[in-house]
């Protein structure tokens, strides 16, 4: 025991003298004699940290905490080491553990503030530094108190810069969109070129420029920009939407549908993706799928006249003239309530065109399950579904009710066919 203590004391002396290499050697000797000596691990960890051996320091702190898990100073030292290793979340966890053991520990609040600042939680970081400053002030530790105040001042300056940058970007994009709406596409394009030259990694700028390029007719260049936007930010829903629009324009309906599916995986409630996917389905003659997507839009935005227009067009191609008239009428009602008389009259004109159109048999398409839509009577469809569910009418009715809820406004036969299709697809 005397030998062990002798090596430990020599290690402390070397550390105090700044000779951290020799201090580590002395603590090594201690731990060879007694591998349970917690203080030797802790002090060796601090020396290793001073030498820049952050990984070695972390190993020592971990070992010390395994032996004595209630030591706040070791959590704090490990937290500082994790900060050096850019493990900000780990540093935050150590600060929080220290505060569980001692809720009045200024150094723990300071560590917490630093970690939160690096994680981008600036408001929470300020609160932590304020708490630390108050405790240091009560302890009459003016130097550390001032350090916390300086951190708060710096963070507030960061917040102001971030707000200014956001406002500048937001205003810039607003002006670009205004130019697009006025048809000043070349000017908008030049503005975005300048912004991308300033910051080549601005995903939003690439997304907007892709949109402008598509309107100018430069479809391949537009796709290249939108690809770049998604490379920089894989969660950019706007870029997926713009790319879907471009792909529809060049006839790549499968690619457009894939883009919409990608967007919906990120946000299942992203309405624009249903609209563009519906457009792609419609263009590729999958009218029943287009109707399903437009119906989803209408379910979420029942006051969107354009959604009714889209569904009416798909229903026309599906030879559902009554459904198309109903949708145009819904659009007309919305325009009437808004006092948009020009659009209202246009919707009424669409109704007249459909009413004057001769009723034909539904389009036959071997790839379309609904090709038998009008040739099968409602009674036959009902009997078919009831047979599929083992003769239980209440189950069949329930499946049809689900289809009605999901896709409002469709013909009765359509709901029974939809239930049959879903049931057979699940088998």
pTM of the model: 0.50
Provide mean pLDDT across the span 314-319. 85
Residue 242's contacts (CB-CB under 8 Å, 6 or more residues apart) are 207, 210, 211, 214, 222, 226
Please state, for a pLDDT cut of 90, what percent of the chain lies above it. 55
Same topology between domain 2-160 and domain 182-358: yes
Q: Cα–Cα distance between 189 and 179 in angstroms, integer?
A: 10
Looking at residue 165, what is its pLDDT? Answer: 55
pLDDT in tens, 155-191: 888 777 666 655 566 777 888 888 888 899 888 898 8
Q: Cα–Cα distance between 421 and 133 in angstroms, integer?
A: 67
Tokens of 140: 């009459």
Radius of gyration of the chain, Cα coordinates, nearest whole angstrom: 34
Pick 331 or 382 by higher pLDDT.
331
Looking at residue 367, what is its pLDDT? Answer: 37
Pick 256 or 403 by higher pLDDT.
256
Cα distances from 222 to residues 99, 128, 212, 285, 359, in angstroms, run 53, 46, 8, 26, 42
pLDDT in tens, 347-383: 899 999 888 877 554 444 333 444 444 455 778 888 8
Residue with tokens 């967007």: 263
Cα distances from 232 to residues 171, 196, 204, 206, 207, in angstroms, run 22, 13, 9, 9, 10
Residue with tokens 């770049």: 228
Q: Which of 105-109, 251-255, 294-298, 375-379 has the lowest mean pLDDT?
A: 375-379
Cβ distance 207 to 259 under 8 Å?
Answer: no
Cβ distance 202 to 209 under 8 Å?
Answer: no
**Distance from the Cα of residue 361 to its chain's centroid:** 45
Q: Cα–Cα distance between 349 and 171 in angstroms, integer?
A: 40
Give the confidence band of 206 by pLDDT, cuts at 50, 70, 90.
very high
Provide mean pLDDT across the span 231-254. 92
Q: What angle do CA 263, 269, 271 make, to 5 degrees?
A: 75
Q: Is the pLDDT of residue 426 over 80?
A: no
Looking at residue 359, what is its pLDDT? Answer: 58
Provide mean pLDDT across the span 337-343. 90
Looking at residue 43, what is its pLDDT? Answer: 95
Looking at residue 370, what is its pLDDT? Answer: 43
What is the rounded average pLDDT for all residues in the chain?
87
Q: Cα–Cα distance between 101 and 334 in angstroms, integer?
A: 63
Task: Give SS3 for 417.
Answer: helix
Looking at residue 410, what is its pLDDT? Answer: 77
Cα distances from 360 to residues 185, 291, 324, in angstroms, run 43, 19, 14
Looking at residue 22, what is its pLDDT? Answer: 95
Pick 422 or 352 by higher pLDDT.
352
pLDDT in tens, 109-152: 999 999 999 988 888 999 999 999 999 989 999 999 999 999 99
| Superfamily grouping for domain 182-358 | Tetratricopeptide repeat domain (1.25.40.10)
CATH, domain 2-160, list 1.25.40.10, 3.20.20.70, 3.40.50.620, 3.40.630.30: 1.25.40.10
Give the confidence band of 65 by pLDDT, cuts at 50, 70, 90.
very high
Pick 317 or 262 by higher pLDDT.
262
Q: What angle do CA 268, 274, 280 make, to 5 degrees?
A: 135
Residue 362 has φ and ψ, to the nearest 5°, of: -65, 150
Domain boundaries, the chain: 2-160, 182-358, 375-427
Provide mean pLDDT across the span 208-232. 92
């Amino acid at each position: 025991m005397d030998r062990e203590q002798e090596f430990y004391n020599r290690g402390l002396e070397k550390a105090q003298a700044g000779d951290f290499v020799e201090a580590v050697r002395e603590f090594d000797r201690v731990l060879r004699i007694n591998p349970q000596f917690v203080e030797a691990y802790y002090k060796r960890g601090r020396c290793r940290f001073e030498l820049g051996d952050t990984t070695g320091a972390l190993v020592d702190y971990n070992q010390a905490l395994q032996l004595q898990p209630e030591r706040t100073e070791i959590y704090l030292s490990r937290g500082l080491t994790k900060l050096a290793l850019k493990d900000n979340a780990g540093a935050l966890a150590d600060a929080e553990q220290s505060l569980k053991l001692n809720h009045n520990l200024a150094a723990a609040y300071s560590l917490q503030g630093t970690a939160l600042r690096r994680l981008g939680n600036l408001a929470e970081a300020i609160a932590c530094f304020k708490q630390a400053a108050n405790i240091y002030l009560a302890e009459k530790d003016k130097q550390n108190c001032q350090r916390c105040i300086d951190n708060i001042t710096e963070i507030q300056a960061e917040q102001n810069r971030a707000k200014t940058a956001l406002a500048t970007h937001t205003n810039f994009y607003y002006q670009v969109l205004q130019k697009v709406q006025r048809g000043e596409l070349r000017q908008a394009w030049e503005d975005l070129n300048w912004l991308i030259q300033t910051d080549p990694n601005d995903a939003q700028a690439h997304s907007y420029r892709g949109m402008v390029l598509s309107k100018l007719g430069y479809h391949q260049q537009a796709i290249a920009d939108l690809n770049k936007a998604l490379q920089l930010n894989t969660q950019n829903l706007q870029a997926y939407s713009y790319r879907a629009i471009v792909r529809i324009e060049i006839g790549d309906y499968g690619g457009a549908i894939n883009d919409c599916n990608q967007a919906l995986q990120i946000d299942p409630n992203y309405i624009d993706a249903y609209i563009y996917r519906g457009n792609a389905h419609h263009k590729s003659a999958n009218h029943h799928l287009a109707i399903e997507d437009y119906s989803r839009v209408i379910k979420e935005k029942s006051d969107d006249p354009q959604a009714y227009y889209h569904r009416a067009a798909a229903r026309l191609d599906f030879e559902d003239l009554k459904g198309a008239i109903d949708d145009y009428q819904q659009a007309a009602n919305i325009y009437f309530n808004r006092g948009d008389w020009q659009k209202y009259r246009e919707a009424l004109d669409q109704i007249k065109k459909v009413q004057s159109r001769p009723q034909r048999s539904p389009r036959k398409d071997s790839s379309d399950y609904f090709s038998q839509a009008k040739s099968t009577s409602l009674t036959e469809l009902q009997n078919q579904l009831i047979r599929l569910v083992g003769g239980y009418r209440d189950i069949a009715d329930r499946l049809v009710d689900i289809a009605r809820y999901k896709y409002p406004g469709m013909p009765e036969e359509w709901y029974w066919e939809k239930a049959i299709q879903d049931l057979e697809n699940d088998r």
